[in-house]
Structure 1
Amino acid sequence: MLKFYMTFSIMLSAFAFQDISAQSAFVQTSNESQATLKRKVAIARFSNETQSGTSFLVDDSGDRLGKQASDILSSKLAATGKFMMFERSDKDEIDSEQILAGLKKAGVAVDYLIIGSVSEFGRSVDSQSQIFKRTKTQRAYAKVNVRLVDVETGRIIFSEEGAGESVNATESKVLTKTNAGFDQSLTDKAISAAISSLVSSLVENMTNKPWKSYLLSEEDGSYIIAGGSRQGIALGSILNVYKKGKIILNPQTGATLELPGKKIGAIRVDGSFGEDDFSEVSFTTLIEGSITEELQNYYISNT
């Protein structure tokens, strides 16, 4: 009898340990998924505000520097793993109001729009000759400006200027006929250095605001929300449901403000479906609270 009791106790302890481990794993998975929820970002093509018109600064559209700057920024932000970069169809458009109108018309829901310009660019070549050698130093310098627009409000919430320089020094013997050629890569490196100087500030500002998603539909007791596994929404994640705050008018500025939302419940993610990052949705179950009003009066957050 004592042997049976000891065996039964050991089995109960094993099941309890497995249950605790499963709960711990679930909490860890949920926390990891919430920590990696990605914001959706669109980058407008940078305008070229420099006065240079040399061939290496322009392409078929007349602006090579602007395209380089926007492409480099997009790559660096995507490399952080915190954002989903949206490739706009109106790549040549640089006006923020027209871009926001185009995004709304296309039904594309992004969190932020980045607008920028290459404000300065220059190159120089210095040569120094000594008795037995000759040194040629090529320099490229770039300065970029970025503005971060909150798509939900249409307001610029952050702006910054970044500068970068790239240098290539080569040596050759005086009696030789070889000379260092023009280093085209310095242009890319200078712009990349200028972009790199402000990426961390952009990331910080875009991740300060809590992640949001929205209720799209209700089907047979299951609520469908925007976003899925590609955006970091993991199976089993618990997300909070908020009722949107009241929208008021600030008479001092003439701007409309949305008051903070109120938490009314929670949902559990049961699965995701979609062909790509921007069409993906998740099926969820309401596990706490109740949704009694139209779905557009609510939003989803991980906080």
Structure 2
Amino acid sequence: MRPFKLTAVALAASLVLAGPAAAQSVSAYDGLKKTVSVDTFQAADAVGGTVTADGMTAMLTDALSRDGRFVVVEKTSAADPAALIAASAVVRGTVTKYEANAGGSSLGIGGLPMGSMFGGRAGLKSQKAVMEISLRLVDSATGQVISTSKANGSASSSGVDLSLVHANSGAAANAGRFRATPIGQAGEDAIAKAVELIAASMRNVPWSALVIESSGPTIYVNAGADRSVQPGTPLRVYRKGRVLTDPSTGVVLDVEMQPIGAIRIDQVRERVSTAVLVSGQPPERGDVLKLD
């Protein structure tokens, strides 16, 4: 029995998941990067609840950050009128299908002690999981839906089932291990497809930046080398005007943008650029900049 226990421990320590194939590396992107933010995913208890919602949000944020075509930013608070709207678009996701055990088999090999608080469960296991996510890309300025799409993912595991169980309550402690589970792998597969869908939709979103402040002849812009801005880039300056809302729902339908002038990028830092006025009136903090 002793050799068998050692084998079980070794297996338990080397969980191998045969999830989706590693994402193909994105070829170097040298165009201007657009900004996006990711809302917390929606997921009912029936499809994994908070663990799934937090796990999917973190994985999509990470995937978009690593993709190379975007800069992922934190959402600014609408309650702060001085805050700049940093993101051009907001991604909102919902888990619409979740099957952690779409197929598979399991063979128990006995308990493994894993400390005083948690007891271990281990077993040889083959498991298939599937997930579907629904995505909405929303214009951050108007709240209008730019596009909707769905992405499906699946994954299977073959190796050892390592589920941590709280010794007192019996509750599974899997929140921090979501990515390593079959359903987490299925979610990662769906997210890899979702990134391409988001990239396709973002082609219809104009590149934009914002004026941080204008001090004498120098204009500060909230985009730099991190967004592939280059010296000499011409930008048009727009000032937000009337916000047009639907009288019955209060939903923002459009925001009038008044052209006030043009600037040219002069010097580029990591996250900030400076520019000079080319024509029109000097811009103010919060004015919107778009490619000429």
Provide the TM-score with structure 1 as the length reference: 0.62
Choose which of 89, 92, 95 in structure 2 pairs with 1:115: 92
- Report if aligned partners of 1:241, 1:298 keep a CA contact under 8 Å in 2: no
Counterpart CA distance in 1 for 2:50 and 2:247 is: 41
Alignment counterpart, residue 214 of structure 2, candidates 211, 214, 218: 218
User: How far apart are residue 251 of structure 1 and its match?
Assistant: 7.3
Match of 2:135 among 128, 146, 150: 146
CA distance, structure 2, for counterparts of residue 65 and residue 251 of structure 1: 35
CA distance in 2, matches of 1:256, 1:44: 21
The answer on whether the counterparts of 1:247 and 1:256 sit within 8 Å (CA) in structure 2 is no
Partner of 1:124: 102
Contact 1:243 1:297 in 2 (8 A): no
Q: Unaligned regions of 5+ residues in structure 1, if any?
A: 1-31, 89-98, 129-134, 171-179, 274-279
- Paired residues of 1:77 and 1:199 also in contact (CA < 8 A): yes
For residues 105 and 43 of structure 1, do their structure 2 counterparts lie closer, same or farther at Cα, with a shift above 3 Å needed? farther
Match of 2:51 in 1: 64
Which of residues 262, 271, 283 in structure 1 aligns to 2:274?
283
State the secondary structure of the residue aligned to 2:86: coil
Paired residue for 2:67?
80
> CA 1:119/1:105 → structure 2, altered by over 3 Å: closer, same or farther?
farther
* Structure-1 separation of matches of 2:222 and 2:128: 47
1:187 aligns with 2:183: yes
Are residues 65 and 242 of structure 1, via their aligned partners in 2, closer, same or farther at CA, if it must alter by over 3 Å? Answer: same
Query: Does structure 1 retain, via aligned residues, the 8 Å contact 2:125–2:161?
Result: no
1 CA distance for matches of 2:84 and 2:243? 25
**Distance (Å, rounded) in 2 between the aligned partners of 1:185 and 1:248:** 46
The alpha-carbon deviation at position 51 of structure 1 amounts to 1.1
How far apart, in 1, do the equivalents of 2:202 and 2:140 lie?
12
Unmatched 5+ stretches in structure 2: 1-27, 107-123, 163-179
- Go from structure 1 to structure 2 and tell me whether the alpha carbon gap of 1:201 and 1:281 turns closer, same or farther (over 3 Å shift): same
CA separation of 1:164 and 1:262: change in aligned 2, threshold 3 A: same
Q: Distance in 2 between matches of 1:258 and 1:296?
A: 17
State the 1:112 CA deviation.
Answer: 1.9
Q: Deviations over 1:236-258 (max 9, x none)?
A: 23222234476474779875534
Once residues 106 and 291 of structure 1 are traced to their aligned partners in structure 2, the CA distance between those partners, rounded to angstroms, is: 23
Deviations 1:73-117 (A, max 9, x none): 1122112212122256xxxxxxxxxx8636767555222222212
Asked if 1:295 is matched to 2:262, the reply is: no
Match of 1:173 in 2: none
C-alpha distance in structure 2 between counterparts of 1:126 and 1:298, whole Å: 56
Alignment partner of 1:268 is 2:265: yes
Could you say which residue in structure 2 is the equivalent of 1:94? Answer: none
Contact 2:84–2:210 (CA<8 Å) still a contact in 1?
Answer: no
Structure with larger RCO (C-alpha < 8 A, sep 6+): 2
Q: How does 1:153-172 map to 2 (within 5 A)?
A: 153-168=142-157
Name the count of aligned residue pairs. Answer: 228
- Whole-angstrom distance in 2 between the partners of 1:217 and 1:105: 12
AA of the residue aligned to 1:114: V
Q: 1:215 deviation in Å?
A: 2.6
Q: Is 1:233 equivalent to 2:212 in the alignment?
A: no
Larger Rg belongs to: 1
Structure (1 or 2) with the greater strand fraction: 2
- Listed as ranges, the matches of 1:241-256 within 5 Å are 241-244=236-239, 247=242, 249=244, 255-256=252-253
| Corresponding residue SS for 2:78 | helix
- What is the CA–CA distance in structure 2 between the aligned matches of 1:296 and 1:201, rounded to whole Å? 33
Residue by residue over 1:200-244, the C-alpha shift from the partner in whole angstroms, topping out at 9 and shown as x without a partner, is: 12112223222112233222311222222222223x232222344
- The correspondence for 1:200, drawn from 196, 210, 213, is 196
Alpha carbons 2:214, 2:285 under 8 Å: kept? no
- Identity of counterpart residues, as a percentage? 18
Query: What amino acid is aligned across from residue 154 of structure 1 in structure 2?
Result: G
Give the TM-score of the pair, scaled to structure 2. Answer: 0.64
One-letter amino acid matched to 1:242? V
Are the equivalent residues in 2 in contact too, given 1:50–1:118 (CA < 8 A)? Answer: no
